[in-house]
Amino acid sequence: MQASDYGASTADQPLDIVSLDRLDAAVKEVIPEAGYEFVSGGAGDEWTLHENRRAFDDFRIEPKRLRGVSPEVDLSIELLGQSLPFPIFTAPMGAHGMVHEEAEVATARGTGMAGTLYCSSGASHRTLEEIAEATQGPKWFQLYWNNDTEVTRSLLDRAKAAGYSAIVLTADALGPGQPDDFKAMSSPFRPDMVFGNHDPERGGSGNFFDQKLDLDTNAIKFIKDQTRLPVIVKGLLRADDADRSISAGADAIQVSNHGGRQIDGVPASIAALPDVVATVNGRVPVIMDGGVRRGIDVVRALAMGADAVAVGRPVLYGLGLGGAQGVQSVLEHLRAELQSAMLLSGAAKLADLDPSFINLVGASAEASRS
């Protein structure tokens, strides 16, 4: 059966983007409802989902004037041995076939066209090898740890062989958050397309949330011994967990609440960032994700100590609206907004961004006083 028998998704096309927030309403009109609900939704009452956006407002930018800043801001960074043209990359997300018939292959291609890093989800619809081939840019592999270590070992060997340069260990998804029917999830465009790395013989890698993770059984060390690649621990909100992860060998920390999709009622990522940054104290890079939609959000996250940010849902909205080119448009739009936000804040280079650009008000200020 051909993919077209099921109806095709949107053709590749660049998007004329005014603001990433507006993509939500546009994509709702063009992708199947199940796909839109899957991507846009959050856990529980979606309090954390909304808080991820709202909390940015607690961190006001205090712009610096009369500093001779020119528009040619250098946005490039080095992150765990990779150079990125700007400090923004595609967050690991599963099941892109819910949005586009080419699924992660198109997302990875579009991310590569924008020149930045693609983080490939362990719950992708396409195989990690197909995805790796689709992008010329840097790439990391996100692992859902499997209690059957042979399943984990085989995924790590494949990721290394396919050229992924780091492993992201997701620590915050230990049970189904939202929705809970992941095992049955196939693409509405191609019902034959299920999770690409899933090995039905072992039943293993389909049980994404059946992971028992602790530092005593040494997941981080296991990954490093197996791959000799750097490990990013993703999904931390607490400073003590960041500290424990670094002691166990983590090479970077990704502050995240999984886009408000795991446990509701936890703080926004941007609100959790300062404590983690203070404890990490420059030992390893800190990445954050959750609610990044504007160049000013990136300025705030970097001023508060993040080295880079990852973006989730808007990338999939770009995929739904314009395939690989839509993804490219989303990432390039955010890069352009960052460039302008740097100029208008009075920051000549990324290294200039520090907490002196931020004035803390509102709920987050109250929390930090108590």
Ligand X SMILES: O=C(O)C(=O)c1ccccc1
Ligand Y SMILES: Cc1cc2nc3c(=O)[nH]c(=O)nc-3n(C[C@H](O)[C@H](O)[C@H](O)COP(=O)(O)O)c2cc1C
In the complex, which residues of this chain contact ligand X (CB under 6 A)? 94-95, 123, 173, 182, 208, 258, 261
**Token reading at 253:** 């920390």
- For 83, 259, 290, 362, 367, the CA distances from 55, given in Å and listed in that order, are 30, 13, 11, 9, 12
Q: How many other C-beta atoms lie within 10 A of the C-beta of residue 166?
A: 24
Choosing from 48, 52, 152, 205, the residue that interacts with ligand Y (CB under 6 A) is 52
Which residue among the candidates 125, 198, 258, 333 is catalytic per the annotation?
258
**Token reading at 45:** 């009452």
Q: How many other C-beta atoms lie within 10 A of the C-beta of residue 88?
A: 26
**Cβ-closest residue to ligand Y?**
312
Beta bridge partners of 167: 141, 231
Binding positions for ligand Y, 66-125, rule CB under 6 A: 91-94, 121, 123
Choosing from 292, 298, 306, 324, the residue that interacts with ligand Y (CB under 6 A) is 292
Binding positions for ligand Y, 239-278, rule CB under 6 A: 256, 258-259, 261
Question: How many residues are present in the chain?
Answer: 370
- For 7, 174, 193, 278, the CA distances from 144, given in Å and listed in that order, are 31, 9, 19, 28
Distance CA 173, CA 236 (A): 11
Instruction: Supply the DSSP string of 108-122, one letter for each residue.
Output: HHHHHHTT--EEE-T
Binding-site partner at residue 311 among ligand X, ligand Y, none, CB < 5 to 8 Å by type? ligand Y
Q: Which span (149-157, 217-225, 310-318, 355-363) binds ligand Y, by CB under 6 A?
A: 310-318
Write down the least CB distance from residue 248 to ligand Y, Å: 19
Parallel/antiparallel/unpaired status of strands 358-360 and 59-61 = antiparallel
Choosing from 109, 313, 333, 335, the residue that interacts with ligand Y (CB under 6 A) is 313
Write down the least CB distance from residue 266 to ligand Y, Å: 12
Binding of ligand Y at residue 290 (CB under 6 A)? yes
Whether 100 is catalytic is: no
The residues, ordered by sequence, that sit 6+ positions from 232 with a Cβ below 8 Å of its Cβ are 80, 140, 166, 167, 168, 169, 250, 251, 252, 253, 254, 287
Binding-site partner at residue 190 among ligand X, ligand Y, none, CB < 5 to 8 Å by type? none
Write down the least CB distance from residue 283 to ligand Y, Å: 22
Write down the least CB distance from residue 310 to ligand Y, Å: 6
Distance CA 171, CA 191 (A): 30
Binding of ligand Y at residue 297 (CB under 6 A)? no
Size of the site for ligand Y (CB under 6 A): 23
Write down the least CB distance from residue 88 to ligand Y, Å: 11
Write down the least CB distance from residue 170 to ligand X, Å: 7
Q: 94 or 318: whose CB is closer to ligand X?
A: 94
Binding site for ligand Y (CB under 6 A): 38-39, 52, 91-94, 121, 123, 142, 170, 234, 256, 258-259, 261, 289-292, 311-313
State the catalytic residues.
258
